[in-house]
């Protein structure tokens, strides 16, 4: 039927756990920004080490307010979707898009300045890993096992 | 309705849990984030209300309308070019270079910023430079587009031509005061570069000239006074955020040829293209020397060394915030340790300025705290940015284009808040960054260094503005609309005397005293302080 039906209970539960943790992370990042009056992506965008013209354009005065709002909105929607289990496939794809933008602005390429970070990275960093985890979640949707969509499944 | 009932009827307790379990997690995460943010914000607001620091609004923009002001530039070298550009006149060479730079790097906005600069409604009617190449560059660039610019062989000719209302002086230091005095006495407005004077005596003469000619607007080129972070710092000091300040530390750190005044020597420089006798002025008469001409900052005969050339910037930055005036004592030391190239001004220099009567507010019993040392530490052999720090009993302020204030762990004022964990001495209690994390993709390391000192760029309403432009604009506005420039003759007098005390202490190797009663630097019997200051032995 779908990819998830072939998995053992332990495998499904692990998948759900991964979904909840990433949802938790996205939602919390979004909520903190909602309640902060001074947060803006300007510094992150202006200091981009890759695709600079694009990211500096995003940071330009006319575009930046929309970029900030959109960033918070996607964080909240992806986080909420993964946590409550509703349309998670779309949420995963949106989350991957956002994480790849984060990655491309400051990629862990050895010839680029690493910038402030809490660890050591070579090509792969945590943004990339989280994006890959979302790809797995998109291919193994679990909202019908744990999530709002379970209701509709039961209905059938 | 019946369908819904059917759904709910088919749901087991386990289904309910697995369907809506995520909602409780959503609620938990949201409320954790909200409560954490709200609590942090509330504590922050209490702290900010306690500190009550406000960034003063920039002065209202005065009108530039009316008939164009006719300005002459005296000294059209590197600094002269920058000043004239801030007045709205860029050389053809500069425009071409910036156009190329813009094509190579679209993030390079220098040309755009120049073009967007407000029109100050001035005519650049005269140029005076002893080097033909410099003067011709101005003539070729500034004749056209409704402007006529004439070359004057001497500044006296320009001042008395009747064709300039004001002059901008960007000559070597030994010409600052003589030209300012001559212009002021002829009723011409003056904007002069720092340091204001080269000798002690001319400091008094210039002050008298300005006092005797009240209609003339005199401004000294300490452009950082326009930087908004300095206005914020002034307010923080007024609100006694730091408590009694007992130590101020500023520094100059440079480690390149340009920073060490080792400028390029123009290939066309010779006795035919340079009016050498005029350049020398009051300096010892020596045969033509191209190195002395282009690298004049390296000799006491024309320049003022670290004390006059660079300490004056830091001195005035602190004086505009603390208004501490001339120090009672100055002790200086140093030497030529990194550029032993024939210069006679030191390239490493430490100047300690003592203010035994200085008081800012206090959080302790009255009378316990009084006095302050202002340390200026400079090297032209290392460029570690040591920043500027004002150190008080209750807190420290790091001052640059941003203002950052930390509470001191031994503070009296913040003791309770530190104990209650409302203040962490390692986290700033106040930060003002007008550029909001703006990262400048264009300017060089040196330019960034200056920007960080508030010397190059300032921000008005989040927009980057050249502080030299704002400083010149203020001077022109005072000429047109009345008012007093922020760095006028009194500020200049204090700057110049302090710099000269630093130079004297370095040369004499002893503590130099200022007698505030008689307004004189104390000399020992038989000492000619100006002769000592201007002594030009290598």
Alpha-carbon span A34 to A32, nearest angstrom: 6
Beta strands in B195-276 (DSSP E): 218-220, 245-253
Sort residue B212 into left (φ over 0), alpha (ψ -120 to 50) or beta: alpha
- Measured between CA atoms, how close is B260 to chain A, in angstroms? 29
Residues of A in contact with B107 (CB under 8 A): 52-53, 56
pLDDT at site B58? 58
A28 and B11: CB-CB below 8 Å?
no
Mutate to test the interface with B, among A55, A148, A149, A156 (most CBs of B within 10 A): A148
Q: How far is CA B494 from CA B28, B203, B488, in A?
A: 62, 9, 10
Name the 3-class secondary structure at B261. coil
Joined together, the tokens standing for residue A144 give 């019908």
- Measured between CA atoms, how close is B498 to chain A, in angstroms? 40
Please check whether residue B109 is in contact with residue B203, taking contact to mean a CB–CB distance below 8 angstroms: no
The size of chain B, in residues, is 538
Strand partners, B520: B515
- Domain edges within chain A: 7-155
- Cis peptide leading into B195, omega within 30 of 0? yes
Mutate to test the interface with A, among B18, B40, B432 (most CBs of A within 10 A): B18
Alpha-carbon span B159 to B185, nearest angstrom: 10
pLDDT at site B5? 54
The partner residue sitting opposite A47, judged by closest CB among B22, B25, B439, is: B439
- Residues A89-111 pLDDT 10s: 999 999 999 999 999 998 999 99
Instruction: Choose the most confident range, by mean pLDDT, from B58-62, B182-186, B461-465.
Output: B182-186
- Measured between CA atoms, how close is B447 to chain A, in angstroms? 18
- Residues A22-76 pLDDT 10s: 999 999 999 999 988 777 887 788 778 899 889 989 988 889 899 999 999 999 9
* Residue whose tokens read 């994006």: A131
The partner residue sitting opposite A28, judged by closest CB among B23, B33, B106, is: B33
pLDDT at site B437? 38
Indicate whether B229 pLDDT > 60. yes
Name the 3-class secondary structure at B392. strand
Joined together, the tokens standing for residue B294 give 């282009």
* Residue whose tokens read 């920043």: B387
The partner residue sitting opposite B438, judged by closest CB among A31, A32, A46, is: A46
CA atoms within 13 A on the CB side of B503: 35
pLDDT at site B273? 97
Joined together, the tokens standing for residue B384 give 């570690």
Q: Residue B482, Cβ neighbours under 10 Å: how many? A: 9
Instruction: Give B427-471 as a DSSP string.
Output: S-SEEE-TTTT---SSS-HHHHHHHHTTSSEEEETTEEEEHHHHH
pLDDT at site A152? 78
Q: ipTM score of the complex?
A: 0.92
**Domains of chain B in sequence order:** 226-264+298-464+490-534 (3.30.360.10)
- Residues B487-519 pLDDT 10s: 999 999 999 999 999 999 999 999 999 999 999
Pairing mode, strands B166-169 and B403-407 = unpaired
Alpha-carbon span B21 to B400, nearest angstrom: 52
Indicate whether B461 pLDDT > 80. no
pLDDT level of residue B7 (50, 70, 90 thresholds): low
> Does the CB of B15 have a partner CB in chain A at under 8 Å?
yes
- Residues B211-228 pLDDT 10s: 999 999 999 999 988 877
Better-predicted residue by pLDDT, B281 or B38 = B281
CB contact burial A3-21 (16+ within 10 A = b; e otherwise): ebeebeeeebeebbebbbe
> Does the CB of B23 have a partner CB in chain A at under 8 Å?
yes
Instruction: Report the percent of chain B where pLDDT is more than 70.
Output: 91
Alpha-carbon span A52 to A45, nearest angstrom: 8
Indicate whether B31 pLDDT > 80. yes
CB contact burial B212-224 (16+ within 10 A = b; e otherwise): ebeebbbbbbbbb
């Amino acid at each position: 039927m779908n990819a998830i039906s072939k998995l053992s209970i332990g495998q499904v539960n692990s998948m759900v756990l991964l979904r909840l943790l990433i949802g938790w992370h996205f939602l919390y990042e979004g909520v903190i920004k909602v309640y902060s009056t001074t947060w803006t992506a300007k510094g992150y965008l202006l200091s981009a080490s890759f695709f600079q013209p694009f990211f500096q354009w995003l940071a330009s005065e006319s575009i930046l307010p929309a970029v900030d709002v959109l960033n918070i909105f996607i964080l909240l929607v992806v986080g909420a979707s993964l946590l409550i289990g509703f349309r998670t496939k779309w949420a995963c794809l949106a989350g991957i898009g956002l994480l790849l933008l984060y990655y491309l602005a400051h990629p862990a390429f050895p010839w680029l300045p690493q910038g402030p970070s809490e660890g050591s990275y070579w090509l792969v960093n945590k943004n990339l890993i989280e994006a890959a985890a979302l790809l797995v979640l998109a291919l193994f949707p679990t909202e019908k096992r744990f999530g709002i969509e379970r209701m509709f499944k039961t209905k059938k | 309705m019946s369908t819904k009932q059917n759904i709910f009827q088919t749901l087991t307790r386990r289904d309910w849990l697995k369907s809506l379990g995520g909602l409780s997690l959503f609620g938990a995460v949201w409320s954790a984030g909200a409560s954490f943010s709200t609590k942090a914000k509330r504590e922050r607001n209490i702290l900010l209300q306690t500190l009550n620091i406000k960034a003063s609004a920039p002065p209202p923009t005065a009108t530039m309308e009316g008939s164009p002001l006719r300005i002459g530039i005296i000294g059209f070298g590197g600094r002269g070019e920058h000043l004239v550009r801030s007045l709205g006149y860029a050389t053809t060479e500069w425009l071409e270079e910036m156009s190329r730079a813009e094509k190579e790097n679209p993030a390079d906005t220098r040309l755009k910023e120049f073009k967007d600069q407000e029109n100050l409604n001035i005519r650049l009617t005269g140029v005076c430079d002893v080097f033909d190449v410099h003067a011709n560059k101005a003539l070729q660039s500034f004749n056209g587009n409704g402007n006529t610019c004439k070359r004057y062989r001497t500044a006296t000719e320009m001042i008395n031509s009747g064709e300039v209302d004001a002059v901008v002086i960007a000559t070597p230091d030994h010409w600052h005061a003589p030209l300012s005095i001559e212009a002021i006495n002829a009723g011409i407005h003056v904007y002069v570069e720092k340091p204001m004077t080269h000798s002690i005596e001319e400091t008094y003469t210039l002050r008298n000239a300005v006092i005797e000619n009240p209609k003339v607007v005199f401004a000294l080129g300490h452009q950082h006074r326009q930087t908004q972070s300095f206005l914020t710092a002034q307010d923080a000091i007024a609100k006694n955020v730091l408590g009694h300040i007992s130590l101020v530390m500023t520094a100059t750190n440079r480690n390149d040829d340009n920073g060490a005044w080792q400028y390029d020597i123009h290939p066309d420089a010779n006795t035919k293209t340079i009016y050498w006798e005029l350049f020398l002025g009051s300096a010892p008469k020596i045969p033509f020397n191209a190195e002395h001409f282009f690298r004049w900052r390296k000799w006491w005969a024309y320049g003022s060394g670290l004390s006059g050339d660079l300490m004056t910037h830091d001195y005035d930055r602190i004086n505009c915030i603390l208004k501490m005036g001339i120090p009672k004592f100055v002790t200086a030391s140093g030497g030529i340790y990194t550029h032993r190239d024939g210069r006679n001004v030191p390239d490493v220099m430490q100047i300690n300025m003592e203010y035994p009567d200085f008081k800012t507010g206090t959080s302790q019993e009255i009378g316990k705290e009084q006095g302050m040392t202002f340390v200026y530490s400079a090297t032209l052999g290392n460029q570690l940015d040591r920043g500027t720090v004002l150190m008080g009993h209750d807190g420290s302020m790091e001052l640059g284009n941003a203002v950052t204030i930390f509470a001191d762990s031994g503070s009296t004022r913040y003791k309770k808040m530190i104990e209650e964990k409302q203040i962490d001495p390692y986290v700033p209690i106040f930060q003002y960054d007008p550029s909001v994390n703006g990262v400048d993709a264009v300017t060089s390391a040196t330019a960034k260094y200056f920007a960080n000192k508030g010397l190059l760029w300032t921000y008005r309403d989040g927009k980057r503005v050249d502080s030299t432009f704002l400083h010149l604009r203020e001077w022109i506005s005072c000429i047109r609309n009345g008012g007093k420039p922020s760095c006028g003759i009194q500020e200049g007098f204090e700057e110049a005397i302090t710099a000269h005390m630093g130079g004297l202490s370095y040369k004499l190797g002893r503590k130099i005293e200022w007698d505030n009663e008689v307004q004189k630097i104390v000399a020992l019997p038989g000492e000619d302080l100006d002769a000592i200051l201007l002594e030009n032995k290598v």
